[in-house]
A and B are shown apart, each in its own frame.
Chain A
Amino acid sequence: MGTDGETELSADEIRDLGVIASTMIPADAGLGLPGAGDPAILADIVQSVGRDSRLIHEALAAISAKSNRGFADMDCDSREALIDAYHKTGGAAAAALGRVIASAYYRDDRVLLALGQEARAPFPKGHALEQGDWSLLDPVRKRAPFWRDDRAAVKDR
Chain B
Amino acid sequence: MADNERVDVLIVGSGASGAAVAWSLAETRMRIVCLEQGDWVRSTDFPANGRDWEARRYTDFDISPNRRGRDTDYPVNDDNSPMKIANFNGVGGGTVIYTAHWPRMHPSDFRVKSLDGVADDWPIDYWTLEPFYEENDRMMGASGLAGDPGVPPRNPPMPPIPLGKTGARYAQAMNRLGWHWWPSDTSIATAPYEGRAACINLGHCTPGCAQGAKASTDITYWPLALRAGVELRTRCRVREITTNEQGMAAGAIYYDADGNERFQPAEVVVVACNGVGTPRLLLNSASARFPNGLANSSGLVGRNLMLHPWPIVSGYVDEPLDGGRGPITCLWSKEFYETDCARGFVRGYTLQFGRGTGPANQAIVGAAAGHLPWGRDHHRVFRELLDHRVNIGVACEDLPEEHNTVTLDPDLKDSHGIPAPRIDYALSDNTRRMMEHGIARAEEILTAAGASRLYCSRTVLNSPGHLLGTARMGNDPERSVVNAWGRCHDVRNLFIVDGSVWVTSGGVNPTSTIQAVALYIADQMKQRLATLFD
Q: Does A107 contact B (CB under 8 A)?
A: yes
From A107, A120, A124, A139, give the contact of B175 (CB < 8 A): A139
From A23, A127, A154, give the contact of B326 (CB < 8 A): A127
Which residues from chain A contact B359 at a C-beta distance below 8 Å? 106-107, 111-112, 115, 117
CB distance B364 to A103 under 8 Å? Answer: yes
Q: Does B155 contact A (CB under 8 A)?
A: no
Q: Does A10 contact B (CB under 8 A)?
A: no
CB distance B374 to A2 under 8 Å? Answer: no
Stretch of B261-269, B378-386, B482-490 with 4 or more beta carbons under 8 angstroms from chain A: B378-386
Compute how far the CA of A54 lies from the CA of B364 in the bound complex, rounded to whole angstroms. 19
Q: Does B163 contact A (CB under 8 A)?
A: yes
Which residues from chain A contact B115 at a C-beta distance below 8 Å? 148, 150
CB distance B202 to A122 under 8 Å? Answer: yes
CB-CB contacts below 8 Å: A97-111 with B: 98-99, 102-107, 111
Nearest CB to that of A111 among chain B residues? B359
Stretch of B6-14, B146-154, B249-257, B275-283 with 4 or more beta carbons under 8 angstroms from chain A: B146-154
Count, chain B residues at interface, CB 8 A: 81
Which residues from chain A contact B183 at a C-beta distance below 8 Å? 137
Q: How far is the CB of B61 from chain A (nearest CB, A)?
A: 13
Which residues from chain B contact A148 at a C-beta distance below 8 Å? 106-108, 115, 338
Compute how far the CA of A105 lies from the CA of B361 in the bound complex, rounded to whole angstroms. 11
Compute how far the CA of A123 lies from the CA of B325 in the bound complex, rounded to whole angstroms. 11
Stretch of B28-36, B52-60, B236-244, B513-521 with 4 or more beta carbons under 8 angstroms from chain A: B52-60
Q: Does A11 contact B (CB under 8 A)?
A: no
Which residues from chain B contact A23 at a C-beta distance below 8 Å? 374-375
Known: A122-B48, A129-B326. A102 touches B364 (CB 8 A): yes
Q: Does B171 contact A (CB under 8 A)?
A: yes
Total number of residue pairs linking A and B with CB closer than 8 Å: 205
Compute how far the CA of A31 lies from the CA of B101 in the bound complex, rounded to whole angstroms. 39
Which residues from chain A contact B66 at a C-beta distance below 8 Å? 1-3
Known: A87-B374, A120-B51. A33 touches B379 (CB 8 A): yes
Q: How far is the CB of B109 from chain A (nearest CB, A)?
A: 9
CB-CB contacts below 8 Å: B151-199 with A: 151-152, 161-165, 167-168, 171-172, 174-175, 180-183, 199
Q: Does B79 contact A (CB under 8 A)?
A: yes
Known: A1-B79, A151-B127, A154-B127. A146 touches B163 (CB 8 A): no
Known: A120-B51, A146-B150. A126 touches B211 (CB 8 A): yes
Q: How far is the CB of A92 from chain B (nearest CB, A)?
A: 11
CB distance A128 to B201 under 8 Å? Answer: yes
Q: How far is the CB of B213 from chain A (nearest CB, A)?
A: 9
CB distance B55 to A103 under 8 Å? Answer: yes
Q: Does A25 contact B (CB under 8 A)?
A: yes
Which residues from chain A contact B338 at a C-beta distance below 8 Å? 146-148
CB distance B364 to A123 under 8 Å? Answer: no
From A80, A84, A147, give the contact of B106 (CB < 8 A): A147
Count, chain A residues at interface, CB 8 A: 63
Q: Does B373 contact A (CB under 8 A)?
A: yes
Nearest CB to that of B64 among chain A residues? A1
CB distance B200 to A24 under 8 Å? Answer: no
Nearest CB to that of A31 among chain B residues? B379
Q: Does A46 contact B (CB under 8 A)?
A: no
Compute how far the CA of A148 lies from the CA of B360 in the bound complex, rounded to whole angstroms. 43
Known: A84-B374, A129-B164, A147-B334. A51 touches B171 (CB 8 A): no
Compute how far the CA of A48 lies from the CA of B50 in the bound complex, rounded to whole angstroms. 14
Interface string of A27-60 (1 = CB under 8 A from B): 0100101000000000000001011000000000
Q: Does A93 contact B (CB under 8 A)?
A: no
CB distance A102 to B367 under 8 Å? Answer: yes
CB distance A80 to B375 under 8 Å? Answer: yes
Interface string of B350-394 (1 = CB under 8 A from A): 000000001110111001101001111011000100100000000
Q: How far is the CB of B411 from chain A (nearest CB, A)?
A: 11
CB distance A1 to B201 under 8 Å? Answer: no
Chain B residues with CB under 8 Å of chain A are 46, 48-55, 58-59, 66-69, 75-79, 106-108, 111, 114-115, 125-127, 145, 147, 149-152, 161-165, 167-168, 171-172, 174-175, 180-183, 199-203, 210-211, 322, 325-326, 334, 337-338, 358-360, 362-364, 367-368, 370, 373-376, 378-379, 383, 386, 412
Would you give 22 A-B contacts (Cβ < 8 Å), ordered by A? A1-B79, A3-B68, A3-B69, A24-B374, A24-B378, A25-B378, A31-B379, A76-B376, A84-B374, A98-B363, A102-B363, A117-B359, A126-B199, A126-B200, A131-B162, A136-B163, A147-B152, A148-B107, A149-B107, A153-B114, A154-B126, A154-B127
Extra inter-chain contacts (9) besides given A99-B364, A137-B183, CB under 8 Å: A51-B69, A111-B359, A121-B51, A124-B210, A129-B162, A132-B168, A146-B149, A147-B150, A151-B127
